[in-house]
Structure 1
């Protein structure tokens, strides 16, 4: 079994440096996973997975929606920025991340396109910022000097934390005193209960598992902060899309069908299917947490992307000075060209 990728420990500054390296690597033609091979289009797509979870492409493949395409698992990642960096440099064929991280990578001139939304927040699928039940933390100001554990820096969890702090009146200098730390998602609950961090960001099955155990409460959730929204997208390189349009269309449309299948199928049947997938792939994973699955949280039908999915983060990063205002447009960051899903048809 391929070794899981080492959890990222980069700071935001280091992450932005890595983005510059990624763009240079792509522009120098070092991508190795984009070739069509023997004049045909790529039929086996390399990707990274997540421990104990079923990604939408994995679900789509199991349901037969990817048709003649096959998936080749190269390892696991807990970092969206790392995943799309790997896609940009050709180590894998597609990668998924928070849309703000995609904006950052595109601003570094990496030739990528978002092709479909794959996760988001709604009433059932959301990320919560949890504290212990008896914690004195009750407000944003109480977070000054405290440690917040999250899966990676410079992405969804840190962005929502900063928005929360700003909306609750903290100045930039005060917000800088709230320490964001990288904690692998599978370890977040334990780190919170042992007092290693004062706030833990939990989502999906790991969130519901922790809530079922009791003793924690939410300080806030991203759904409370922003309402229902698609938060992350899968990206492919522009070169791959040009060389493999039929493969891209089959992949994107298959993922779109999987989104709608998960939305319209009874929850217990979705969980049973996911449990079977995890068991059969033989990666020595615990399937117990899958019973807490509720939703992928994608807001739009079939995962089709809209400008608003990127405009919020373009504005946020522009205000922070991390992306030059006017350098990018929301519509230029994505395409729905390869999403042929028709609502109502499986």
Structure 2
């Protein structure tokens, strides 16, 4: 088996523990990045530390460039390697905000991190979605056909493994049967090749990599995340509760600015959005290739202004509870987020 393919050694009941965070790490992160006592001293933090993504423009970066943050500035401290890492950095005070799959946010909160989701950060719609692809002539046509098969995805214990589990469950597979489906870590850039060379039977493809693979022909979707759940917001930006309490005006500016950026990207012609993103990447001087931006379609967020709803967490709470990853009743969906600081559409 190629080095790119790493068999999952994690059980169906345990794989999401990789999203956990130690109590010590949580406790040391109660002081937010950059210090400052915030509202209590009459001086709120105005420069927000954050992690970016190579060759991509995040919603906060877009909002800042559009002038939606006023006197609040962003300070890039590096690029994130994953959603769980991004929100852990925020929880431990290395950055002021981070974004991840909502299931990862739940795990972090269940581990004792005093965090709140403040606005949606990404999702899936008719333009931006993830699909589970097989060879066109593959005998795999149903969930039951996946028993004993390898499914490649970018990481374990996050968005795509959660959706795979939901797909298997909704299509009648027992826990024992689902346990015979083998999820593997395959870097997204290698997924198409791994499918075509039959190193895996199914692979998750999204964005530019999906479009290029489909253009080459020979692949078909077994299912997509939007077919499974419809258009949905899948991830959120989180901040620590302490930072929110001490810097309410800054948080309001940030959240409302991101909400405006979401709607700007939704209502502005795609070519203009791509041009703006390309300009942002070029002028920030991180030695990046901006060529993939021409394939951008949307941020995939379903709700107006990125407002968060109970359903964005309830599905994953139920799923985690059924698998014993989070104790049932330990958390309520409404406790995990707030829309208090989202001023979009309020006049």
On the 8 A contact 2:48/2:95 being kept in 1, the answer is: yes
The corresponding residue for 1:36 is 36
Q: What secondary structure is seen at the aligned counterpart in 1 of 2:20? A: helix
Q: What secondary structure is seen at the aligned counterpart in 2 of 1:42? A: coil
Which residue among 169, 172, 193 is the counterpart of 2:172?
169
The corresponding residue for 1:24 is 24
| CA shift for structure 1 position 327 | 1.0
Q: Distance in 2 between matches of 1:72 and 1:198?
A: 42
Q: Distance in 1 between matches of 2:193 and 2:48?
A: 35
The corresponding residue for 1:6 is none
The corresponding residue for 1:132 is 135
Q: Distance in 2 between matches of 1:20 and 1:133?
A: 41
Q: Distance in 2 between matches of 1:313 and 1:177?
A: 22
TM-score (norm 1): 0.89
**Which deviates the most, 143-152 or 155-164?**
143-152
How many residues were matched structurally? Answer: 336
1:186–1:76 CA distance, 2 compared to 1 (3 A): farther
The corresponding residue for 1:81 is 84
| CA shift for structure 1 position 51 | 2.3
Please, which runs of 5 or more residues in structure 2 have no aligned partner? 1-7
Q: Distance in 2 between matches of 1:222 and 1:263?
A: 20
On the 8 A contact 2:32/2:243 being kept in 1, the answer is: no
On the 8 A contact 2:191/2:203 being kept in 1, the answer is: yes
Q: What do residues 138-167 of structure 1 show as CA deviations (whole Å, max 9, x unaligned)? A: 221222222222222211111100011111
Q: What do residues 203-243 of structure 1 show as CA deviations (whole Å, max 9, x unaligned)? A: 23332233233332211001000111111111000111112
1:280–1:184 CA distance, 2 compared to 1 (3 A): farther
| CA shift for structure 1 position 111 | 0.2
Which residue among 175, 179, 184 is the counterpart of 1:181?
184
On the 8 A contact 1:25/1:31 being kept in 2, the answer is: no
On the 8 A contact 2:102/2:316 being kept in 1, the answer is: yes
Q: Distance in 1 between matches of 2:196 and 2:63?
A: 36
Q: Distance in 2 between matches of 1:14 and 1:30?
A: 27
Q: Distance in 2 between matches of 1:284 and 1:186?
A: 20
The corresponding residue for 2:320 is 317
1:319–1:60 CA distance, 2 compared to 1 (3 A): same
| CA shift for structure 1 position 182 | 2.3
Q: How does 1:266-305 map to 2 (within 5 A)?
A: 266-305=269-308
On the 8 A contact 1:318/1:325 being kept in 2, the answer is: yes
Asked whether 1:157 is paired with 2:160, we answer yes
1:29–1:281 CA distance, 2 compared to 1 (3 A): closer
Asked whether 1:144 is paired with 2:164, we answer no
| CA shift for structure 1 position 83 | 1.4
Q: What do residues 188-207 of structure 1 show as CA deviations (whole Å, max 9, x unaligned)? A: 33433344333221223332
1:32–1:252 CA distance, 2 compared to 1 (3 A): closer
Q: How does 1:192-211 map to 2 (within 5 A)?
A: 192-211=195-214
